[in-house]
Structure 1
Amino acid sequence: MGKVVFENLQVYQLSEKLADLLWEIVIRWNYFERDTIDKQLVRCADSIGANIAEGTGKGSFADNKRYAKIARGSLYETKHWLRRAYKRNLLKHDETTQLKSLIDELLPRLSAYINSIGTVSKNKNSMDD
């Protein structure tokens, strides 16, 4: 597996953007909201980038793909907690719009990244034959 610098991956950069925006929003919530929804939301949002980073460091395409899929699961969990926050009137309209835009960009890119893991090597090998 070729060395991938996770910081250079667009999916990683988008996941950081999402996690940072969420942090800016939830840090202003009251104690009860922060103690319930906030902790779950921040953990799963931070987990997206953490799993992308961890997967690139594992050393195999299979591990990288597995961790990228875990990252995608964390993105879906983030969506769940955002829906709960929205239903409980914790998010402003503009915050919801920003977050939805980031998620709508990140989800297909993350899926494409998952599908691409290992394919460059396979294509290269077949061209060498």
Structure 2
Amino acid sequence: MESKSKYIPLKELDIYQLSRKLSSKAWNIYQRLDYHLRKNWGDQMISSIDSVGANIAEGYARFHFLDRIKFYYIARASLSESVEHWIDLGLERKIVLQEEFEEIYSISKNLQIKLNRQIKTSYDAKKQV
């Protein structure tokens, strides 16, 4: 009986695609900032949003389940920092437009649900070994 691989390349993984979509939306905001706003708000905002995808990529490449899950937890925490703090603060300070906020918030909620599912799936796979 031939075994079919269940491996999905990183770029085809839903959570990674959503993280890249978030990074793209954040980059659009970052590009229009002047030097002062980039240094005081934008650099931290873009770093935290980009770290979501970076941690998903690193976790996905890990062999051990608990190691993988640790990076997914870090990605989820970075997602919260990015949207619940930096993007919300940007909206409050009128750096982020309402339409941008709503789009980013929608993507982030979807990503959060899928990240939670990925964490559960990883725990379930560990139990089967």
Instruction: Tell me the matched-pair count.
Output: 123
Q: Hey, what does 2:33 align to over in structure 1?
A: 29
**Post-superposition CA distance 1:19-40 (Å, at most 9, x none):** 1111011110121111111101
Which runs of 5 or more structure 1 residues have no equivalent in the other structure?
Answer: none
- Preserved contact between residue 51 and residue 78 of structure 2 (Cα < 8 Å): yes
Query: Per-residue displacement from partner, 1:49-103 (whole Å, max 9, x unpaired)?
Result: 1001111212111110000000001001102111111111101121111111111
2:65 and 2:126 in contact (8 A); partners too: no
Counterpart-to-counterpart distance in 1, 2:44 and 2:25? 15
Residue of 13, 16, 20 corresponding to 2:17 = 13
Could you say what secondary structure the match of 1:117 adopts? Answer: helix
Identity of aligned residues (%): 32
Q: Which residue does the alignment assign to 2:103? A: 98
* Runs of 4+, deviation exceeding 6 Å: none
Q: Give the aligned partner of residue 84 of structure 1.
A: 89
Name the CA distance, whole Å, in 2 between partners of 1:3 and 1:117: 13
Q: What is the aligned-residue RMSD (CA, Å)?
A: 1.7
Q: Give the equivalent residue in structure 1 for 2:3.
A: none
Give the TM-score, by structure 2 length. Answer: 0.87
Unaligned runs of 5+ in 2: 1-5
Name the TM-score, length of structure 1 as normaliser: 0.87
